[in-house]
Structure 1
Amino acid sequence: MSVWLPVAPCTPAGCARHTGAVRAPLPAALLLLSGCTLVLLGVACVPLVRLLGPAPRRRLTRCWAHAVPRAFGVRVTVRRHAADHPSGDAPGGELVVANHISWLDIPLVASVLPGRMLAKSEIRRWPLLGPLAALGGTLFIDRDRLRALPAAVRTIATSLRSGSRVVVFPEGSTWCGRGGGGAFRPAAFQAAVDAGATVRPVRIAYRTAAHHDGPAAGAVAFVGSDPLAASLWRVVRAAGLTARIDVLAPIPADGGNGRRALARRARTAVLTTEDPCRCCQTAVASDRANRPAASVHH
């Protein structure tokens, strides 16, 4: 691995822990089966979905991504900037940037702002999620080769100029959700500057039912050398998980301050607690009724 890559101090043993209520093994296994089945269904349907026009393709992608976290037993709350259209669609290219905690971040962002994901090349080899990402138009980059970075910036800029939405996790690595996370790497923001695109910050947070405004839910943290299978099982075993995604106000990339200033501004927006009166909140109250019954114990 290249020494220039960001490395989070988070480790599976130190950060990826759940201390609250847990589901019994059988209900957890049923959730794991339902979640993986839904992901496989998405993989199987991608070739057909790609034949559709952009608008119906986005709607189907949003519906599928909306269902994935819930299939794994995670309740979702969405808050949007008051001036946004409910569909989240925006004219022209848009660079969506979010903090990065878990593999769950990917369907969460896709459920509100579907677009082309930027991902490390290793994800292409992941079971289930890798083939789905490739078929869905993910832009893969080789993070170990610094020389590949200019080409990656050009690829992102080309997509933005064509009017596409590109989703990036600019921290460059997953963090456990506690503390401030990592700095936003400026490379993707250079693509937004080159393309004259809008930057859309998104804040992702995970909590448990007992600590809705307290410490981050460690069960969802997918950090360090954590195996994907272990992370999946930890998520379905943890009861009362809630994911909240805040779609924040857009930032124009033509401010003239350069990519680093743009990256700092986006990170500040993600780290700053949004005033509830400036957002409209949509809580999916039906999630609890639609989830399989679970045996909960401490």
Structure 2
Amino acid sequence: MRAWLVIVPVLLVTLVGIPLQWLSVALKLPTRRSLPVLYHRIVLALVGVRVRVVGAPSPARPLLIVSNHVSWLDIPVLGSRLPLCFVAKSEVAGWPGIGLLAKLQRTVFVDRSARSATARVAGEMAERMGGGDPVVLFAEGTSSDGNRVLPFRSALIGAARQGMGAEGAGATIQPLAIAYVGQGGVSLGRARRPRLAWYGDMDLAPHLMEVLRRGAVDVELHFGEPLPAGDRKAATLRAERAARVMLAGALTGRSA
């Protein structure tokens, strides 16, 4: 019952928001950035997700936020904090409903099976960043069980080089760790945390319904110190190490 009490108002808000956001994107209105933030905040309030932010998004532009990835919840959690764009696998564009929402968020889609697509995606990322929008890249290339950070991939982080500022400096890279720390007012341990994670070959609908049924999710966003773009492989390794340290601190309660 609780799941449907969440789904119905979320659908109503979505149906109202879609034409407003479509018009905002089509006409390039300032609301194309603010409407998604408002939408995600409403969704989180309805689901019962509480977000704690440690650190802050860098004010530097162009900005590439490099993060671990745990769940579909990552999207509204991050989207509720500031205007931004995501990078997602091309399959997402074809998902019913979700694909449309992703497009209205001005998501950059990448076909991982085509090496030649990297240049196009890098160009789109640079365009978003050059226009003042932070871009979020889930650098692991997949989602995890929430207890660890998988190795970051360096290919798309090279796009930061193309996000050139007015003075010719490469885009700033900021590491981020997403940590799911509690549910129902109880701290999540290593064994229970994967219940919130959406990874592997899990079906989306059953997982979504289970999360909505339980609700009361506590999640932390840990923003690390910004890094210069530099060599993409070195920058990738530094971002991965920073995310791993921040996640470990959040999950053990030793973070700030």
Interval of TM-score (by shorter of Structure 1 and Structure 2): 0.7 to 0.9
Which residue pairs with 1:43 in the alignment? 18
Larger Cα Rg: Structure 1 or Structure 2? 1
8 Å contact kept, 1:31–1:73? no
SS at match of 2:80: helix
- Note the 1:58-137 alignment, pairs <5 A: 58-81=33-56, 88=57, 90-137=59-106
CA root-mean-square deviation: 2.6
Which residue pairs with 2:212 in the alignment? 236
Report the Cα distance in structure 1 between the residues aligned to 2:204 and 2:13, rounded to whole angstroms.
17
SS at match of 2:225: coil
Deviation at 1:119, TM superposition (A): 0.9
- Note the 1:247-258 alignment, pairs <5 A: 247-253=223-229, 256=230, 258=231
Deviates more, 1:99-108 or 1:41-50: 41-50
Closer/same/farther in 2, CA of residues 244 and 155 from structure 1, 3 Å limit: same
Deviation at 1:155, TM superposition (A): 2.7
Paired positions, count: 243
Matched to 1:205, the amino acid is A
Give the TM-score, by structure 2 length: 0.83
Closer/same/farther in 2, CA of residues 40 and 260 from structure 1, 3 Å limit: farther
Which residue pairs with 1:200 in the alignment? 174
Report the Cα distance in structure 1 between the residues aligned to 2:255 and 2:69, rounded to whole angstroms.
24
- Note the 1:213-292 alignment, pairs <5 A: 214-215=189-190, 217-253=193-229, 256=230, 258-273=231-246
Give the TM-score, by structure 1 length: 0.72
Closer/same/farther in 2, CA of residues 187 and 177 from structure 1, 3 Å limit: same
Report the Cα distance in structure 2 between the residues aligned to 1:131 and 1:192, rounded to whole angstroms.
26
8 Å contact kept, 1:201–1:249? yes
Deviation at 1:102, TM superposition (A): 0.8
Instruction: Confirm or deny that 1:175 pairs with 2:144.
Output: yes
Structure number with higher relative contact order (C-alpha < 8 Å, ≥ 6 residues apart): 1
Deviation at 1:101, TM superposition (A): 0.8
Closer/same/farther in 2, CA of residues 132 and 34 from structure 1, 3 Å limit: same
Report the Cα distance in structure 2 between the residues aligned to 1:70 and 1:120, rounded to whole angstroms.
27
SS at match of 2:146: coil
Question: Any idea what the Cα deviations from partners look like across 1:96-126, whole Å, max 9, x if unmatched?
Answer: 1111011111111111232121111111112
SS at match of 1:108: helix
| 5+ long unaligned stretches in structure 2 | 164-169
Identity %: 33
